[in-house]
A and B are shown apart, each in its own frame.
Chain A
Amino acid sequence: GENVEQHPSTLSVQEGDSAVIKCTYSDSASNYFPWYKQELGKRPQLIIDIRSNVGEKKDQRIAVTLNKTAKHFSLHITETQPEDSAVYFCAASIRGYSTLTFGKGTMLLVSP
């Protein structure tokens, strides 16, 4: 089955810096890659997703890049703010199959 590796497990940055979280996947059939943000005690919230027919997607301060050949994808957050502090999860699935395989998560801490 699919296996998703996520790095780093923790990331500390200063407010205004950029943050990058990287994930690799094993199943070349995977073609849908969402990112979720989970604040303490709250549900995972989708922040951005990418499908395998594109290499990059942006939404304001957040961007995701996908390299299908290398089977890795990354989340980029620019101009970080304290409210970006949370655990971020990457995931992979095959379109049409509602089975998400998650990475172990990255705890992002943004210091003022």
Chain B
Amino acid sequence: KAGVTQTPRYLIKTRGQQVTLSCSPISGHRSVSWYQQTPGQGLQFLFEYFSETQRNKGNFPGRFSGRQFSNSRSEMNVSTLELGDSALYLCASSFGQGAPNTDTQYFGPGTRLTVL
């Protein structure tokens, strides 16, 4: 079974621009969660989508948004980029249905975003 994939793997943007990152979950997984990883703050939860609906949201400003498509693929968007948005953005997929052994999350390789 193919793992979680993310595109692009690397991005360089300038302040004020916007960016869209993509995540394709493991086949059969309906939940996609997004995390921001930085050296200072570690891994922080951004939001989670399940069956095209945002189910949970972390403590990030409204510049961070996302969506999920009917095939469970997900995108996240960051508008008006700031220097502090430079980070590794990871997505993780799971079955997401709360039944035993369905909540295990598998991570993608991440998108490294650099904001200049």
Contacts and interface: CB of A to CB of B under 8 A. Distances in A.
Of B4, B42, B90, most A-chain CB atoms within 10 Å: B42
Interface stretch (A37-45, A62-70, A74-82): A37-45
Interface residues of A, number: 25
A98 B105 contact: yes
Given A43-B90, A44-B107, A99 B42 contact: no
A34 B104 CA distance: 8
A91 to B, nearest CB: 8
A2 to B, nearest CB: 10
The 8 tightest CB contacts between A and B, nearest first, are A96-B98, A102-B43, A43-B107, A104-B42, A98-B31, A99-B56, A44-B107, A98-B48
Contact of A43 (B50, B96, B110): B110
Contacts of B105: 34, 46, 98, 100
A46 B42 contact: no
A42 B109 contact: yes
Main secondary structure of the interface of B (DSSP, over half): strand
Interface of B: 4, 31, 33, 35, 42-45, 48, 50, 55-56, 58-59, 90, 92, 94, 96-98, 100, 103-110
Interface of A: 1, 32, 34, 36, 42-46, 49, 51, 89, 91, 93, 95-105
A37 B77 CA distance: 27
A98 B33 contact: yes
Contacts of A105: 42-43
Given A95-B98, A98-B48, A99-B33, A45 B104 contact: no
